[in-house]
Chains A and B, each alone.
Chain A
Amino acid sequence: MVQYSQARFDASFGALSDATRRGVLEQLGRADASITVLAETFHMTLTGMKKHVGVLEQAGLVSTEKVGRVRTCKLGLRGLEEEAAWIERYRQLWAARFDELDIVVEELKRKEKANGRKKRK
């Protein structure tokens, strides 16, 4: 696990190297906000703000939730108690792994089907 934590830590510093992103964190510290509101506050395009939020999200500093067509942003797991936050990071690692595993397994399924068809011929 060490390597992932280190990666996460580096990601945090990367995320904080930008003035807009620091501003976004400060803003979210006061209240949750949608990407649209954040974009307006920082005089940016939606696409630009989405990128910044993406970087913060990657670093675990912000989490987002889409309800209907609105994506709401709030401060990330670092606001949680340390262990809960760590378990959640660990869960996210495995969830990401398993999502990739799904892709590999789907491919195996397709191959097996294709081979089965060939054999029957």
Chain B
Amino acid sequence: MDVRRESEATPTKNRTEVERRSERELVVTRTVNAPARLVFEAWTKAELFRRWWVPKSYGLTLLSCEMDVRVGGQYRLVFRHEDSTMEFFGTYLEVTPHSRLVWTNEEGDGQTVTTVTFHETAGKTLLVVHDLYPSKEAIDSGSTGALPEALDQLDELLASLGSSTETK
């Protein structure tokens, strides 16, 4: 009975860490409470991958997800956000079952290379997601996207809100 109770307990979420390792590199780490072969499966089968890659809270719809997971194979993700669609695509450079995946991102200027390693210890898997951007500018502008201009507008809006509420 005890065993049963344990297996039904809500697992606590493991911590996600992000480190900007250099001007061109971002590294994300997270432990998943499962063997590497299952975690790897969730990263390499399109029908599983599409269930978690776009968090529900982000208001994006994944319209299609095609993944040909083998060296030289392509992937293509199509999203809808409000009235527009966006495509993300690239090529798998390395596919080592249960331990390593490397792919390119080719939709932007220059190539970003993502390397994911799966390191299993005692039935748990440490995931390390390493992004190598083509340049410092790509990490800054690519990562914040349309933001600089948009943030200025938001700042203006916030500033005007502050002053308008003060006059009340």
Contacts and interface: CB of A to CB of B under 8 A. Distances in A.
B143 A86 contact: yes
Given A87-B20, A91-B17, A98 B154 contact: no
B115 to A, nearest CB: 15
Contacts of B146: 2, 5-6, 9
A42 interface: no
A97 B17 contact: no
Given A4-B58, A9-B147, A103-B52, A94 B28 contact: yes
B71 interface: no
Contacts of B16: 91, 94-95, 98
A11 interface: yes
A26 interface: yes
Tell me the interface secondary structure of chain A in the complex: helix
Contacts of A87: 18, 20
A3 B157 contact: no
B150 interface: yes
Interface string A24-66: 0110010000000000000000000000000000100000000
Interface of B: 11, 13-14, 16-18, 20, 26, 28, 30, 32-34, 38-39, 41-42, 48, 51-60, 79, 81-82, 86, 108, 127, 129, 142-147, 150-151, 154, 157-158, 161-162, 165
22 contacts: A1-B144, A2-B108, A3-B145, A4-B60, A5-B143, A5-B145, A7-B58, A10-B59, A10-B81, A16-B154, A16-B158, A22-B165, A25-B158, A29-B162, A91-B18, A94-B28, A96-B56, A97-B55, A98-B16, A98-B127, A104-B51, A108-B48
